[in-house]
Amino acid sequence: MSHTAGIESLGDLRGKRVLVRSDLNVPLDGTTITDDGRIRASVPTITQLSDAGARVVVTAHLGRPDGSPDPRYSLEPVAARLSELLERPVAFATDTVGASASETVAGLEDGGIAVLENVRFNDGETSKDDSVRGAFADQLAQLADVFVSDGFGVVHRRQASVYEVALRLPSAMGGLVAAEVEVLRRLTEHPERPYVVVLGGSKVSDKLGVIDNLIDKADKLLIGGGMVFTFLKAQGHEVGKSLLEEDQLDTCTRYLSEAVDRGVEIVLPTDVVVDTAFPSGDREPQPSVVPASEIPADALGLDIGPESAAAFAAALSDAQTVFWNGPMGVFEVAAFAEGTRAVAQALTEVTSSGGLSVVGGGDSAAAVRQLGFDEAAFGHISTGGGASLEFLEGKELPGIAVLERA
């Protein structure tokens, strides 16, 4: 990939309408934002544009409203939180390309900021039909003079506000996307060694491309979370009621043998925390620790055990580069959070000793915040789980490629 121009390439922005595609897709409980990490990550670019005298028009999505307005997915509470974080007023348009959007944008003064309603309330945003997406992008482009792509969580999507708009306006990469791309290139092009990749989360199938692409780049691969039970089963162990992808057993067997051939160390848990039922609100957890090779038939694994957590931390202790994607267990429940906590703590120590630690978005980023870690203790916390995985798989990301066109 070639170098992509940043905001400075757009010249003097005073008085110009700048459409910014941010990633404001935060979890909501009703209208209460339960994790504002993505909103906070969007603040520096919006501030930079506002301070430059631009008239900033923010577009973003929230959830999957299926192409029509749905009040459950309104960005109004997000706009209010953004205003608090920016410490300046933020106007809110109750539609994306309709009368409210036009009036709101027309009313902006230099340095003013507006948020448009959820871009996915319009079926043109995610349509599979290029002409439908293009027509919607035409409407978005009419609201602005230039475009800044700053929503890393969506750059792997060929969607109107990510891809087609960039074909219609002078475009640049925002600071957040630029930082993400720079860090991910460090993970793929010439990582400092030892290079350790930590993978968790529920499914092996979600991580196939990453394992395929990194198994010959990493020195160690640590595997936890729900996906580990398919690996354990591939080794011949019984896994009880644990999450299992039967159709991936051969793939896991192949990875285990490829790792030996390539001199890559795959570290699997030697003990796991189990319970007889998945955590639910009407039952107290009843955790117990068992060897990974002796999971009872009536139990399911919900975290890596204390011995494994110590082994994972030890495997990370001399790392110069670490990429972590996916929690080690059901971190939302204290009884099953210690494996994830141990990995997060080990990453902070990699950072403090001068290494690069990257938390790969999604649940891992949420876990870091929920478990009370200081985000500044990590080298980089990605805002886009899916996008960072696809980058590490070696795939072209449409929202980046379109900015790199001639």
The per-residue pLDDT string of the chain (406 residues; one tens digit each, 9 = 90 and over) reads: 345 689 999 999 999 999 999 999 999 999 899 989 899 999 999 999 999 999 999 999 999 998 999 999 999 999 999 999 999 999 999 999 999 999 999 999 999 999 999 999 999 999 999 999 999 999 999 999 999 999 999 999 999 999 999 999 999 999 999 999 999 999 988 899 999 999 999 888 888 888 988 888 899 999 999 999 999 999 999 999 999 999 999 999 999 999 999 999 999 999 999 999 999 888 899 999 999 999 999 999 999 999 999 999 999 999 999 999 999 999 999 999 999 999 999 999 999 999 999 998 778 988 999 999 999 999 999 888 788 888 988 889 999 999 987 4
Among 36, 127, 105, CA closest to 75: 36
Question: In angstroms, rounded to a whole number, what is the distance separating the alpha carbons of residues 301 and 316?
Answer: 23
At residue 381's C-alpha, the angle toward residues 278 and 77, to 5°, is: 75
Give me the active site residues, please.
Answer: 38, 203, 362, 386
240 is in an annotated binding site: no
> Where does residue 14 rank: exposed (0-12), middle (13-18), buried (19+ CB within 10 A)?
exposed
Beta strand pairing call for 321-325 and 195-199: parallel
Q: Which amino acid is at 86?
A: L
Question: At residue 257, what are phi and psi to the nearest 5 degrees?
Answer: -80, -35
Question: In angstroms, rounded to a whole number, what is the distance separating the alpha carbons of residues 10 and 108?
Answer: 20
250: Cα within 13 Å, side-chain hemisphere: 1
End-to-end CA distance of the chain: 12
Q: Are 337 and 302 in contact (CB under 8 A)?
A: no
- Determine the pLDDT at residue 383: 83
Radius of gyration of the chain (CA): 22
Q: Is 174 left (phi over 0), alpha (psi -120 to 50) or beta?
A: beta
Q: Is 244 helix (H, G, I), strand (E, B) or coil?
A: coil
E-strand ranges in 154-287 read: 171-173, 195-199, 220-223, 265-267, 271-275
Q: Is 370 helix (H, G, I), strand (E, B) or coil?
A: helix
- Determine the pLDDT at residue 4: 66
Question: In angstroms, rounded to a whole number, what is the distance separating the alpha carbons of residues 90 and 358?
Answer: 32
**362-398: b (≥16 Cβ within 10 Å) or e:** bbbbbbbebbebeeebbbbbbbbbbbbbbbbbeeebb
38 is in an annotated binding site: yes
361 is in an annotated binding site: yes
379 is in an annotated binding site: no
- Determine the pLDDT at residue 302: 98
DSSP string spanning 121-148?
GSTTTT-S-HHHHHHHHHHHHTT-SEEE
25 is in an annotated binding site: yes
pTM: 0.86
Question: In angstroms, rounded to a whole number, what is the distance separating the alpha carbons of residues 63 and 58?
Answer: 17
